[in-house]
Copies of this chain bind each other. A is one copy, B any other.
Amino acid sequence: MVDAGTGRPMRADARRSYDRILKAADAAIARDGATTSLEEIARNAGVGSATLHRHFPSRRALLNAVFHDRIEGICAQAHRLIDAPDAGVALIDWLGELCRYSAKTRGLAPALLQWAGDDRPLVQDSSCHSMLHDAGDRLLRRAREAGQVRPEVSIDDLLTLVNAISLVTEANSAAIVVDDEADRLFAIAVEGIRPATN
């Protein structure tokens, strides 16, 4: 493990703090969502609040770290689908998986928003959002070349749409809501509301 700022290896105690914060954050976010108390995370990690802030200068940085591995797994799935027989189906399947997963994982949808906070200009970063963007773009390009997708639809459009559905599903999740709400909305969003033409 390497310090993000200096690029040098982390001291043992720093590494230990980092790991404990990440573990506590994971549990807290799963329970209370993306706006959970950072102070409580530090408390549960047995760490001073200032330590949390040095390791993760913003809430967004913490969210990105928490979800990094899982998002990497989803991107790997996109890589596997790049050889699927039907390029259009592969794209839809992957987006649907992302949507379902994101809708049921508290905190993930908010983490994927393209905030213009105090973060760097998102050029060539390794945030969850840009990882998904790159992985999805390959599937989209192939589907577009196969004539399966309207040429004016961008990967940003599709990811934002999926994110929108996940966001509203998570926000509504305390209400009386069918648990496949994300599935229903995704199907409508992708297929249109007109009667099927077959």
Name A's B-contacting residues (CB within 8 A): 88, 110, 113-117, 147-150, 153, 157-158, 160-161, 163-165, 167-168, 171-172, 174-177, 181, 184-185, 188-197
How far apart are A25's CB and chain B's nearest CB, in angstroms? 21
Residues of B within 8 A of A195 (CB): 147-150
Residues of B within 8 A of A168 (CB): 113, 160, 163-164, 167
Distance of A190 Cα from B158 Cα, bound (Å): 13
Contact present for B161 and A114 (CB under 8 Å): no
Which of chain B's residues has its CB closest to A91's CB? B193
| A150 → B minimal CB distance (Å) | 6
Q: Is the CB of B160 within 8 A of A196?
A: no
Between A158, A164, A194, the greatest number of chain B beta carbons within 10 A of the residue's beta carbon is seen for: A164
A97 to chain B, nearest CB (A): 16
A177 proximity list for chain B (CB < 8 A): 114
**A160 close to B181 (CB less than 8 A):** yes
Query: What residues on B are CB-neighbors of A192 within 8 Å?
Result: 190-192, 194
Q: How far is the CB of A58 from chain B (nearest CB, A)?
A: 14
Q: Are A114 and B172 in contact (CB under 8 A)?
A: yes
CA distance A84 to B197 in the complex (A): 24
Nearest chain B CB to A81 CB, angstrom units: 16
- CB-contact partner of A115 in B114, B117, B171, B197, under 8 A: B171
